[in-house]
């Protein structure tokens, strides 16, 4: 939960999100160094009664403040391009699930199996919640997925543009009417991962959460067998 002692990105539950966290920390370190350097130079000039003539004009200082930003951009651009390649990489999925956005809930289809399983996922109203559930985040039917498995999500919408987003997995895909978008991810640990629609889609935009429950493959097959009966 977001508190003043936990004012940061969520812990990564997939290799892609871990890479995003590494890139965030890498870029933040560079920005911190730039901020400290610029603050030091500005403060020393501000409190200095004398002016160095070569600091205000001259070929040397022009070369320095042209080359330094160029190197800074290189140190940011190279990890960024690597990360974009990793996010765009498409691997052969072991499981494909289709998610359809509606005003204002999500529906899911497990179409890889002989007895296709489909269900709707609505937010649990506050007056029907248990004490261990989260307000505005828990749903009546969670999306059950196996961990340590390459999963492909096919995402579309039945009415307006929605966005299927799970921050802990580093996943954010637009659900567009008449179009089928896809994303691949790999969950590397069990747990509950919460998300919400990240595209303003109408009056109840903030009341269509997403809950993924990650379990091991044996438990997933058992759940799937019992749900298909």
Write out pLDDT tens, residues 44-64: 877 777 766 666 667 777 788
- Co-location of 113 and 185 in the same domain: yes
Beta 150-157 vs 162-166: how paired, if at all?
unpaired
1: in domain:
no
Based on the domain organization, do 104 and 216 belong to the same domain? Answer: yes
Please give the Cα distance from 185 to 14 (Å, whole number): 7
- Same domain, yes or no, for 136 and 210? yes
Q: How many domains, the chain?
A: 2
Both 116 and 44 in a single domain?
Answer: no
Predicted pLDDT at 172: 92
My answer on whether 194 and 166 are in the same domain is: yes
Residues 51 and 127 in one domain: no
Question: Is 107:121 a contact under the CB 8 Å cutoff?
Answer: yes
Question: Please, which residues have CB within 8 angstroms of residue 34's CB and are 6 or more apart in sequence?
Answer: 72
For residues 104 and 204, the answer to whether their CB atoms sit within 8 Å is yes
- Domain extent at residue 43: 15-88
Give the residue from 91, 88, 80, 89 showing the smallest Cα distance to 20.
Answer: 80
Q: Where is average pLDDT lowest: 81-95, 173-187, 211-225? A: 81-95
Say if residue 42 is in the same domain as residue 106. no
Please report the pLDDT score of residue 52 as a whole number: 65
Q: Is the pLDDT of residue 100 over 80?
A: yes
Q: How far apart are CA 102 and CA 178, in angstroms?
A: 13
Most confidently modeled of 32-36, 84-88, 225-229?
A: 32-36
Element holding 74 (H helix, E strand):
helix 59-88
Classify residue 5: in a domain, yes or no: no
182 in a domain, yes or no?
A: yes
Task: Check whether residue 32 and residue 112 sit in a common domain.
Answer: no
Check whether residue 78 and residue 151 sit in a common domain: no
In a domain, 61, yes or no: yes
| The predicted structure's pLDDT at residue 26 | 92
8 located within any domain: no
């Amino acid at each position: 939960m977001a508190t003043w002692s936990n004012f940061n990105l969520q812990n990564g539950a997939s290799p892609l999100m871990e890479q995003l966290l590494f890139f965030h920390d890498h870029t933040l370190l560079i920005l911190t160094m730039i901020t400290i350097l610029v603050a030091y130079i500005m403060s020393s000039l501000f409190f200095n009664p004398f002016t160095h003539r070569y600091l205000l004009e001259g070929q040397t200082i022009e070369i320095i403040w042209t080359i330094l930003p160029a190197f800074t951009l290189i140190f940011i651009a190279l990890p960024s391009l690597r990360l974009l390649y990793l996010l765009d990489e498409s691997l052969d999925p072991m499981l494909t699930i289709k998610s359809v956005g509606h005003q204002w809930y999500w529906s899911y289809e497990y179409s890889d199996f002989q007895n296709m399983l489909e269900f709707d996922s609505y937010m649990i109203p506050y007056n029907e919640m248990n004490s261990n559930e989260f307000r505005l985040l828990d749903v009546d039917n969670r999306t059950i997925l196996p961990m340590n498995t390459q999963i492909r999500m096919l995402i579309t919408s039945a009415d307006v543009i929605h966005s299927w987003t799970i921050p802990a997995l580093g996943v954010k895909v637009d659900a567009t009417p008449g179009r089928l978008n896809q994303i691949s991810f790999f969950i590397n640990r069990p747990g509950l991962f919460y998300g919400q629609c990240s595209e303003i889609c109408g009056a109840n935009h903030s009341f269509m959460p997403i809950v993924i429950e990650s379990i091991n493959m044996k438990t997933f097959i058992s759940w799937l067998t019992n749900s298909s009966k």
